[in-house]
Amino acid sequence: MNRIKKGDQVIVTAGKDKGKKGDVVRVAGDKVVVSNINIIKRHTKPNPQANQPGGVVEREAPIHISNVMLFNPASGKGERVGVKVLEDGRKLRVFRSSGEAVDA
């Protein structure tokens, strides 16, 4: 079970955007794409078939999953996440510090 999922609010713990918060747009293996974090400039060629103009496009680049932490709104900071297995076999993500459920 992944500790970070699409739609989670995360805080960046390392890199040029350290301390910034954003929502997870996409999770791909051990990388995540966070909205308005790790912005890069991509030089693109025009593509008339796709009706796409050329030029410099700014977009989010993936960031390693170890460089983000799940944001806990109750404490106001990033916290570690654990997995708790319930009696019926379902898995539940919980914050390590307080033990409260993430998906409450």
How confident is the model over 2-25, as pLDDT tens digits?
899 999 999 999 999 999 999 999
Q: pLDDT tens digits, residue range 83-94?
A: 999 999 999 999
Which strand (E) or helix (H) includes residue 68? Answer: strand 68-72
- Tell me the Cα Rg of the chain: 17
What confidence score (pLDDT) does residue 1 get? 67
pTM, two decimal places:
0.83
What confidence score (pLDDT) does residue 102 get? 86
Residues 6+ apart with CB under 8 A from 23: 7, 8, 9, 10, 34, 35
- Write down the mean pLDDT value for the chain: 93
What confidence score (pLDDT) does residue 2 get? 83
Residue bearing tokens 């914050």: 95
